[in-house]
Amino acid sequence: MKKWAELALGIVTSIGGFLEVGSIATSAQAGAEFGYQLLWVLIVGTLSLAFLMEMTGRLAAVSRRTYVDHLRQCFGVRFFMAPLIVVLIVSFLVLASEVGGVSIALQMATGIGFQWWAVPVALAGWLLLWRGTFGVVEQGTAILGLVALVFAVGAVKLHPHWGEVVRAALPSAPAHDRARYWYLAVSILGASVSPYLFLFYSAGAVEDGWTEEHLLVNRVTAGLGNVFGGGLAIAVVVVAALVFSTRGIRVDRYEQISLLLASPLGRAGVALFLATLCITCFGSTLEITLSIAYLLAQGFGWEWSENLKPAKDARFAMVYTVVIVAAALPIAIGVDPLALTNLSMTLTAASLPLTVVPLLVLMNDREVLMKHVNGWMTNGALVLIALLSLVLFVAALPLQKLGGG
């Protein structure tokens, strides 16, 4: 019985955690400008994330140590500084974008400008981290995040031509705006495969005391959960394709994205969209803030746990306090949330080699994983993901320049 509850909870966590500011924005832009054509990229991103989460979760469950812990010990502090600094910068930008997502949703709901919401949103997030436990943060946001299922309802109600949707699962080259197409492809991958996701996941496995007995839960959470979560992102693309693309609307502002669900669901659709944006971005705000604190604490060996009173892990608590407040500042001074989101997704994509390639070594270390090392299938997938990350590293910034406008 407990096992089933854990499995269900794991799936819910992944579904509820999948959609956030990046995936909503990039999926909506992709659907508006290229119809279903970029769906295959979303599928690649979702599968990559599922594999990476399964691996970092397995590593944590078998060794009782987090991915960051292994990264520092296996590669030494000199190498470790590279992923540390890069992930800190990139995650901070994504975090600021999430605060922007919540703030924009609140602006559209209340009419009060988004700049005014950034600091209150950060303080509310901080209060939850200060008082709440890991379970509250993880499960609370996941269960509330299920409101995102509304996109699946919206997609079905618009009666898409499912044959065309399925056909878009195969890669195809664009007939127009090639730079823009590949730029959006990079953004989608950056939005699906954020390093904070697997840092948070592997720290969570240790927070929850996972052991080898949780390997099934791990596989189901990473696999099924992400497939369902990715399905929701696909639904966003489908809705955007049918609502925007057919009318020739290009998405340049969050206000436009909010009309996504107005056509299938009417006024309630707008309200549900705002609720989804607000809740999922708020959940991600908490997760990214914690991930940054985990990264520093585990990298330098400080005491860390979201379940301890702040006095017991003062440096950890200090980091999340400073980080969440600082992340509100760009939005509070009026930086455009959508532009910030797009930039952070590109940079995330470019940063991936630093967190993905080391897994090739770690996941094949028999001393650490014993019989649970990668098999030929997971190694094959990991090699492909690593190659993809290298392509993204080279291509992301040039494409941002060519197709980001």
Partner 1 sequence: MSGVALIHDVLDAQLVDRRQRKIGRADSIALALSDNAPPRVAAILVGGPVRAQRIGRWAVLLSHALRAVGRVRHNGVTRIPFGAVRRIAEAIEVDMDGDGLEVKHVEDWLAEHVICRIPGAGDERDGEERK
DSSP assignment string, 74-134: HHHHHHHHHHHHHHHHHHHHHHHHHHHHHHHHHHHHH-S-HHHHHHHHHHHHHHHHHH--H
Q: Does 318 bind partner 1 (CB under 8 A)?
A: yes
Residue 230 or 299 having the CB closest to partner 1: 299
CA atoms of 79 and 354, how far apart (whole Å) = 10
- Closest approach, Cβ 216 to partner 1, in A, equals 22
Residue 133 or 263 having the CB closest to partner 1: 133
Q: Does 333 bind partner 1 (CB under 8 A)?
A: no
Q: Does 162 bind partner 1 (CB under 8 A)?
A: no
For the record, the structure tokens of 286 come out as 């908490």
Binding-site member from 88, 146, 275, 308 for partner 1 (CB under 8 A): 308
Interacting positions 91-130 with partner 1 (CB under 8 A): 130
Q: Does 317 bind partner 1 (CB under 8 A)?
A: yes
DSSP assignment string, 236-284: HHHHHHHHTGGGT----SHHHHTTTTHHHHHHHHHHHHHHHHHHHHHHH
- 71 and 301 Cβ atoms separated by less than 8 Å: no
Interacting positions 129-158 with partner 1 (CB under 8 A): 130-133
- Closest approach, Cβ 130 to partner 1, in A, equals 6
- Closest approach, Cβ 56 to partner 1, in A, equals 16
For the record, the structure tokens of 381 come out as 């997938």
Q: Site mask, partner 1, residues 48-87, x = CB under 8 A?
A: ---------------xxx---x--xx--xxx-xx------
Size of the site for partner 1 (CB under 8 A): 30
- 333 and 395 Cβ atoms separated by less than 8 Å: no
Q: Tokens 């959508």 label which residue?
A: 338
Point out which residues bind partner 1 (CB under 8 A): 63-65, 69, 72-73, 76-78, 80-81, 130-133, 300-304, 307-312, 314-315, 317-318
